[in-house]
Every structure is written in C-alpha cells, then in structure tokens.
C-alpha cells in the first residue's frame, strides 16, 4: 500500500514537472508574440509577432501622423505640417507596451490563455512625439493673424462731410486652449486633424449707439465751400456762410476742441508783419476791433468771430480766423458749449 502511494506521488510529481517544463517551453516560444485581443492605437495586432505588429502599425498609422494638423477660423485655414512639427510615430515603443500587456500574469496563466484561446483586452495608446516649441510658435502665429482689436465708434470727416465710424467687436485667441487642441490632434491618431480656434470676443468701449450722446455738438468748417455746419447729436442743425484765411494765412486744418469763449472780445494783435504798427497791441471792443460780438477760440490765436464786413463772407479774406455774420456768430455761440469738437477741412 505504501509502495503504491509512493508510486502515485512519483507520477504526479513527474506530470507536474512535465507540465511546468511544457509551460515554460510554450511561454518561451511565444515570448515575441502579441496576445490575442491586444490593440495599439486602435489597430488590432493580437496574435502577431512583434515584427509583424511593427510593420502593420507603421503601414496604417504613419500616413495619419504625417497628415499634420489644420487650424480653422471661419473661412481661413492654418496648416501645421508634420515636418515642421517634427512628428514621429514611436512604433517600437507601442509594440513594447503591447508585449508588456501580453505578458501579464504568470507562466501558467499565459500558457493556459494561449492554449485555450483566451484574449487580453488592451488598447495601447499611440505614441507620437512632436516639437512643443514648434507648436508654440505655430499657435502664436495663428493668434497674431486672428487677433483683432475692438474698434470704438467715433466720428470723422470723409468726402467733405461728417461721418460715423462704426464700432466693431474684436477678438483674442485663447492660446492655451488652442495649444492643447493642436497637441491632442498631433498625439492621438484617432482625433480629428482639424481644430477650431478658441477665442474671446472683445467689445468696444464706445458703441455706435452711444455716439450721439458722446458728441452732442460738432462743428464742421469746410474752407473750400466757405461753409460752417453745426451738428446736434450728429444731425445737421444749421449751416452758415463764412470767410476763411487768405492765401499764406490759411485757417489751419485739423480737429480741435472749443477751449475759449468770449462776449465782445478784445483783439490781441499778433506780432506778425501783416499787422503793421498794430502788432502786439490789444484793441478793445469798438469800431477798430475786427472781432465783433463773439469769439470761439479753437487754436493758436485762430477762432470763430463775428464781422461787419459782410462782403468778405464766402471768400478767403481773413488772417486765419473764421468770420461769420454777427447774428450768425451769436446764434452759434449760444449753441456751442465748451468741449465741442471742431473739424476744419
């Protein structure tokens, strides 16, 4: 009886030893084979040798990686090609990771899985490298092209008339988010190769609707037409016939602001040769004072004033000032507060 038990034990040990040797032999024979069920970058490579898996991954994924990435903003497209991005597909690393997944467990479990047709449910992510500095440079270039400063509503002169400059929204590219999107598209072979530009809308500080309140009174002096136009809330309130500076003493063109107003102003005669012996004197209101009734100063001694020389109106006759009929300058004076904008064209 004892002898029989001993023999049985010997047989069992022998079977176990043979099984272990067989398992090790089977496992060693499949040391470079990917387990069934394993994928890499979404490509099935289960049951393949490592060399065959590398060839398949290169064949199917390299064309995807080499397509680069396109950034889209409305109808504009910006391409980051694979050469500039220095994109590389690490096939060796992917297969190495797939083999590690295949070799999970121990000799016995691997052998049984192989013999019985078991699968390993694993998908190794694609291993793609690229130049982060090139991505940064590309993203910054896109931002410079797409960024747009908002435009405040304003007024200006165009075609000899006052015009509104419409407000416009701007935008600022979110470079951090765009960088993340581009890098994701480069790194993941199953991601879209087109990404949209993320941006923040920038709104103007002054809208078109606010212009009339911002510019309640505007004066336009058209020297060529000898006409002064008064605008109230950007609508024509009245036009007046004027005289402007003669040749050599032209009324200066530009954009000005009313900074001085006087009733019955004295004339501070400029120290100029045309003033003769009056140069530098102050002529008080009266018959000798050419500045009649009102004065609206605009710049460097030039301004708008009344005149009793009605025959000069409609001509270039002054020494740089803008002349108006006395009733007209009184009317304009009363309707023009300090800070009003004056365009001389």
SS3 260: strand
User: Residue 232's pLDDT is what?
Assistant: 97
- For residue 194 the two structure tokens come to 């087109």
User: Residue 219's pLDDT is what?
Assistant: 98
Pairing of the two strands 154-158 and 128-129: unpaired
- Domains of the chain as residue ranges with CATH: 215-344 (2.40.440.10)
Give the predicted TM-score (pTM) of the model: 0.68
User: Is there a contact between 279 and 270 (Cβ–Cβ < 8 Å)?
Assistant: yes
First-to-last alpha carbon distance for the chain, in angstroms, is 129
Task: Report how far apart, in Å, the C-alpha atoms of 132 and of each of 81, 84, 177, 194, 300 are.
Answer: 14, 11, 14, 18, 59
SS3 180: helix
User: Residue 32's pLDDT is what?
Assistant: 81
User: Is there a contact between 102 and 227 (Cβ–Cβ < 8 Å)?
Assistant: no
Per-residue pLDDT of the chain (345 residues; tens, 9 = 90+): 556 565 545 644 545 444 444 444 444 444 689 999 999 999 999 999 999 999 999 999 999 999 999 999 999 999 999 999 999 999 999 999 999 988 765 555 655 565 655 678 899 999 999 999 999 999 999 999 999 999 999 999 988 889 999 999 999 999 999 999 999 999 999 889 999 999 999 999 999 999 999 999 999 999 999 999 999 999 999 999 999 999 999 999 999 999 999 999 998 888 777 777 877 788 899 998 999 999 999 988 899 999 999 999 999 999 999 999 999 999 999 999 999 999 999
Q: Give bridge partners of residue 285 from the DSSP assignment.
A: none
Sequence-ordered strand ranges (E) for 63-169: 69-73, 76-80, 88-89, 122-124, 128-129, 154-158, 161-165
**DSSP state letters, 204-244:** -SS-GGGHHHH-SEEEEEETTTTEEEEEETTEEEEEEEEEE
Distance (Å, rounded) from C-alpha 315 to C-alpha 246?
A: 8
User: Is there a contact between 197 and 173 (Cβ–Cβ < 8 Å)?
Assistant: yes
């Amino acid at each position: 009886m004892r002898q029989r038990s001993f023999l049985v034990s010997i047989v069992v040990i022998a079977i176990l030893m043979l099984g272990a040797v067989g398992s090790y032999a089977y496992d060693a024979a499949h040391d470079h084979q990917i387990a069934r069920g394993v994928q890499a970058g979404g490509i099935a490579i289960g049951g393949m040798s490592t060399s065959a898996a590398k060839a398949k991954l290169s064949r199917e994924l390299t064309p995807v990686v080499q397509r680069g990435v396109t950034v889209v903003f409305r109808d504009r497209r910006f391409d980051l090609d694979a050469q500039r991005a220095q994109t590389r597909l690490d096939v060796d690393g992917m297969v190495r990771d797939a083999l590690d997944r295949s070799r999970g467990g121990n000799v016995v479990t691997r052998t049984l899985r192989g013999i019985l047709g078991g699968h390993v449910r694993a998908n190794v992510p694609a291993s793609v490298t690229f130049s982060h500095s090139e991505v940064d440079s590309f993203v910054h270039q896109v931002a410079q092209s797409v960024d747009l400063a908002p435009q405040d509503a304003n007024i200006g002169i165009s075609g000899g008339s006052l015009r509104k400059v419409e407000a416009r929204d701007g935008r600022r590219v979110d470079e951090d988010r765009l960088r993340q999107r581009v890098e994701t598209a480069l790194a993941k072979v199953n991601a879209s190769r087109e990404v949209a530009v993320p941006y923040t809308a920038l709104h103007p500080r002054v809208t078109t609707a606010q212009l009339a309140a911002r510019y309640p009174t505007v004066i336009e002096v058209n020297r060529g037409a000898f006409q002064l136009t008064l605008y109230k809330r950007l609508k024509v309130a009245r036009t007046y016939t004027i005289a402007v500076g003669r040749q050599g003493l032209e009324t200066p063109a530009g954009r000005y602001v009313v900074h001085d107003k006087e009733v019955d102003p004295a004339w501070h005669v400029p120290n100029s040769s045309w003033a003769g012996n009056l140069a530098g004197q102050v002529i008080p209101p009266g018959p000798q004072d050419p500045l009649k009734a009102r004065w609206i100063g605009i710049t460097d001694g030039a301004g708008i004033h009344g005149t009793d020389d009605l025959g000069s109106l409609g001509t270039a006759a002054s020494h740089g000032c803008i002349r108006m009929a006395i009733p007209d300058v009184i009317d304009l004076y009363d309707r023009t507060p300090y800070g009003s904008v004056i365009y001389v064209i």
